[in-house]
């Protein structure tokens, strides 16, 4: 490498991307990857809504395994190949170093392999849908459905190896983030001066490091059960399928916090910027993030209330789950208090942030309903659950993604998005997703089971509304793609800080787009960052 002039060294052509060790380039690749993943996941969901638009839907030609495959792929692609690469890989890589005044990530080459592992992972996930009967296990992959009994051909193996690769990628990425945040903060950037987005990435990375190895262990057992005759989850050899559920949800539940925490971080930055006030209760926000992370690791069996937990275990898991509503409530009230009395500008990022607060809180409320072990027995595996987790993930995490996109795109590409189209995108998406998911609560409450490709006539009107909402959402996504392409290639040149006095974090001190290498000489952080002048 060019040791003498590292500052000017900017590789050109394909080498710049394939061999990239630059956090900004890798972040950009993650963002593009996330958009591609999101489109794939969206297409799956649109087909699902087409099938469910009318009772007796025939879109999939009566092939119900295919429906299972679509359900599975929709979930896995959205989680592992859209939301995580976008929030953590994309915005995390781009802005964690900028926000703490570091020149790059701690391990730039590790960062490169983290990204490039995602490509074979996505390819394998794609193969799992077309090989043999396809992997129709749901994202939870419970045996015996995911064992040879349920899926005798290679599809599930592809899926499991895909998750292994995505998991290794995330673990390496997390090692990188934690080391960067611990060791590379600019002088004066104490832990309690770090912007909240950095805090959320730190806690998310820690959660990934703790839980992903457990998932990796669980799916490795599944792979050996399927291919090498072990019987970890097979009762005929003394195994127990419920053990898989414990291992899976020990990962799976913290995973939802992995997804939502970075969105919390982005929302905090946006609310503060557009209210022109520091985040209300910064320290309690940090402790809320930490306690969500800690408690989130001890509530996994609330996904398993129907496996026959003892009454005391049910009580514990119900109560512990409800406790999470406390730090989450602290965050919601702090956001509201940040806005209170602020001089608020409702630009697109702020629309997404306020939309996030409203819809995430609704999803949180249905979550408290579901956390009750007694209620859960009734609502388990109904569309009520589907409605709940889409409110927190599809409207929570995805609104965080879009909010982050509109907030930071001018910094990333040096061009500003067209404000009016951003707002049109927001309102169409907002109406669309609510049309999809509000009716799901009603049909779910009345007993419509999830993961079933048909339903009785009584549920027809609500399902029809949901499907129309899905088409509207798809249309809004086309608008988003138009906005994104227009911004990147034709958008108005952006100033270094388009948001004015509210934007106090370090990235806005840099030109847009920032030079290839930034903060080679660390900036000095004086005073308290969170006290706006």
Partner 1 sequence: MREDHKNVLVLLTCGVVLMASLAYASVPIYRIFCQKTGYGGTPTLGKMNTGVVINNRIIKVKFNSDVAPHLPWEFEPLQSYIHLKAGENGLAFYRVRNNSNEPVSGIATYNVTPDKAGIYFNKVQCFCFIEQTLDPGKWVEMPVQFFIDPELAKDSNLKDVTSITLSYTFFPTKTAKSARHNIQIHSIGDKNV
Nearer to partner 1, 160 or 214 (CB): 214
Q: Is residue 62 a contact point for partner 1 (CB under 8 A)?
A: no
| 114 assigned to active site | no
Of the residues 143, 218, 355, 363, which one makes contact with partner 1 according to CB under 8 A: 218
Instruction: Report in angstroms how near the CB of residue 80 gets to partner 1 at its nearest.
Output: 18
Instruction: Report in angstroms how near the CB of residue 128 gets to partner 1 at its nearest.
Output: 18
Nearer to partner 1, 57 or 89 (CB): 89
Q: Contacts by 387-391 with C-beta closer than 8 Å and gap 24+? A: 387/437, 387/438, 387/440, 387/441, 387/444, 388/363, 388/441, 389/256, 389/363, 390/363, 390/433, 390/436, 390/437, 390/440, 391/359, 391/360, 391/362, 391/363, 391/366, 391/437
* Cα angle for residues 217, 223, 228 (degrees, 5° grid): 120
Phi, psi (degrees; rounded to nearest 5) at 3: -70, -25
Of the residues 18, 123, 307, 378, which one makes contact with partner 1 according to CB under 8 A: 307
Question: Binding mask 348-387 vs partner 1 (x if CB under 8 A, - otherwise)?
Answer: ----------------------------------------
* Cα angle for residues 291, 186, 108 (degrees, 5° grid): 85
**In residues, how long is the chain?**
533
| 104 assigned to active site | yes
Of the residues 5, 310, 457, 521, which one makes contact with partner 1 according to CB under 8 A: 310
Residue 357's CB is within 10 A of a number of other CB atoms, namely 18
* 3-class SS of residue 238: coil
Instruction: Report in angstroms how near the CB of residue 177 gets to partner 1 at its nearest.
Output: 10
| 455 assigned to active site | no
Of the residues 66, 125, 214, 289, which one makes contact with partner 1 according to CB under 8 A: 214
* 3-class SS of residue 242: helix
- Contact at 8 Å (CB) between 364 and 395? no
**What tokens were used for 227?**
């291919």
Of the residues 36, 148, 323, 358, which one makes contact with partner 1 according to CB under 8 A: 148
239-258: contacts with partner 1 (CB under 8 A): 240, 242-243, 246-247
**What tokens were used for 358?**
């409203």
Which residue among the candidates 104, 225, 234, 507 is catalytic per the annotation?
A: 104
* 3-class SS of residue 104: coil
Question: Binding mask 150-179 vs partner 1 (x if CB under 8 A, - otherwise)?
Answer: --x------------------x--xx--xx
Nearer to partner 1, 227 or 343 (CB): 227
| 338 assigned to active site | no
CA–CA distance, 272 with 276 (Å, rounded to integer) = 6
Instruction: Report in angstroms how near the CB of residue 4 gets to partner 1 at its nearest.
Output: 21
Residue 116's CB is within 10 A of a number of other CB atoms, namely 17
Residues annotated catalytic, as ranges: 74, 104, 139, 169-170, 253, 255, 257, 268, 302-303, 328, 331, 450
Chain positions contacting partner 1, by CB under 8 A: 106-107, 148-149, 152, 171, 174-175, 178-179, 182-183, 209-214, 216-218, 221, 226-229, 231-232, 234-238, 240, 242-243, 246-247, 307-308, 310-311
């Amino acid at each position: 490498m060019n040791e003498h002039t590292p500052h000017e060294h900017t590789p050109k052509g394909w080498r710049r991307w394939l061999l990239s060790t630059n956090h900004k380039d890798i972040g950009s690749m993650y963002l593009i990857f996330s958009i591609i993943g999101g489109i794939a996941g969206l297409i799956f969901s649109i087909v699902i809504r087409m099938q469910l638009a009318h009772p007796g839907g025939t879109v999939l030609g009566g092939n119900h395994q295919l429906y299972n495959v679509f359900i599975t792929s929709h979930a896995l692609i959205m989680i592992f190949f859209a939301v995580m690469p976008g929030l953590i890989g994309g915005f995390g890589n781009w802005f964690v170093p900028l926000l703490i005044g570091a020149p790059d990530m701690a391990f730039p080459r590790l960062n490169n392999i983290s990204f490039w592992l995602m490509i074979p992972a996505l390819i394998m996930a794609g193969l799992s849908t077309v090989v043999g009967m396809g992997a129709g296990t749901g994202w939870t992959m419970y045996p015996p459905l995911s064992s040879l009994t349920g899926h005798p051909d290679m599809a599930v193996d592809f899926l499991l190896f895909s998750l292994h690769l995505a998991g290794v990628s995330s673990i390496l990425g997390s090692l990188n983030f934690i080391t960067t945040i611990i060791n590379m903060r600019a002088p004066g950037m104490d832990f309690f001066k770090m912007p909240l987005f950095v805090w959320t990435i730190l806690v998310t990375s820690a959660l990934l490091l703790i839980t992903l190895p457990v998932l990796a262990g669980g799916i490795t057992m599944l792979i050996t059960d399927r291919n090498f005759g072990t019987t970890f989850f097979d009762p005929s050899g003394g195994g127990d399928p419920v053990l898989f559920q414990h291992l899976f949800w020990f990962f799976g539940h913290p995973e939802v916090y992995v997804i939502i925490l970075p969105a919390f971080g982005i929302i905090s930055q946006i609310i503060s910027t557009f209210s022109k006030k520091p985040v209300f209760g910064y320290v309690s926000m940090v402790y809320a993030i930490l306690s969500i992370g800690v408690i989130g690791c001890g509530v996994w069996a609330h996904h398993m209330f129907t496996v026959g937990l003892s009454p005391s275990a049910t009580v514990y898991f119900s109560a512990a789950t409800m406790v999470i509503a406390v730090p989450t409530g602290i965050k919601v009230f702090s956001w509201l208090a940040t806005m209170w009395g602020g001089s608020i500008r409702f630009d697109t990022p702020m629309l997404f942030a306020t939309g996030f607060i409203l819809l995430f809180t609704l999803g949180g409320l249905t979550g408290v309903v579901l956390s009750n072990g007694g209620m859960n027995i009734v609502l388990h595996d109904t569309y009520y659950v589907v409605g709940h987790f889409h409110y927190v993930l599809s409207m929570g995490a995805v609104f965080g993604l879009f909010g982050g996109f509109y907030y930071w795109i001018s910094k990333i590409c040096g061009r500003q998005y067209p404000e009016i189209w951003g707002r049109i995108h927001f309102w169409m998406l907002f109406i669309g997703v609510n049309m999809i998911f509000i009716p799901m609560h009603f049909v779910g409450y009345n007993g419509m089971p999830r993961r079933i490709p048909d339903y009785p006539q009584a549920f027809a009107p609500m399902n029809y509304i949901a499907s129309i909402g899905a088409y509207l959402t798809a249309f809004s996504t086309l608008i988003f793609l138009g906005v994104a392409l227009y911004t990147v290639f034709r958008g108005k040149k952006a100033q270094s800080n388009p948001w004015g006095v509210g934007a106090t974090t370090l990235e806005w001190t840099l030109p847009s787009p920032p030079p290839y290498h930034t903060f080679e000489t660390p900036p000095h952080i004086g005073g308290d960052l969170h006290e706006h002048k």
